[in-house]
Amino acid sequence: MMDADHSPIPNIGNSAADRAITDVISDASEFVRTESPNFLCSSLPSHWRVNKSLPVAFKVVALCEIPEGTRVTITAGNDENNCAELRNNVAVMKNQVARFQDLRFVGRSGRGK
């Protein structure tokens, strides 16, 4: 499998959890690398309306062992708004994947003046 940078995604083992991760990341174009080499996340649309849920669940995939039930909190920002206001930005890790079912960007993104 290849990621958006065309570098191989690490080989995953043969346990049931590892196969579940492989199923989730089978379409690697859906995911992008994060600043941490141990995590991938869903790509976001280039533009999205305020307080509207994303078309599909946002996912964070751990490529390392993370205990089941670990709470995952995400933050977002850009050059003009370093800490965007998010709703439903906490999920629980299950089979190395955290799914954010109704992630919403609440405030302005900082793009307009």
> CA-based angle 59:43:7, to the nearest 5?
100
The arrangement of strands across the sheet holding 31-33 comes to: 31-33, 39-42, 58-62, 97-100, 90-94, 71-73
For 89-109, how does the pLDDT look when each residue is reduced to its tens digit (9 = 90+)?
999 999 999 999 999 988 765
Instruction: Provide the 8-state DSSP code for 48.
Output: -
In three-state form (DSSP H/G/I as H, E/B as E, the rest C), the secondary structure along 83-105 is CCCEECCEEEEECCEEEECCCEE
Whether 25 contacts 31, CB under 8 Å: yes
How far, in Å, CA of 100 to CA of 94, rounded? 12
pTM above 0.85, yes or no: no
For 49-81, how does the pLDDT look when each residue is reduced to its tens digit (9 = 90+)?
778 888 889 999 999 999 999 999 999 887 877
Where does the pLDDT of residue 7 fall: very low under 50, low under 70, confident under 90, or very high at 90 and above? very low
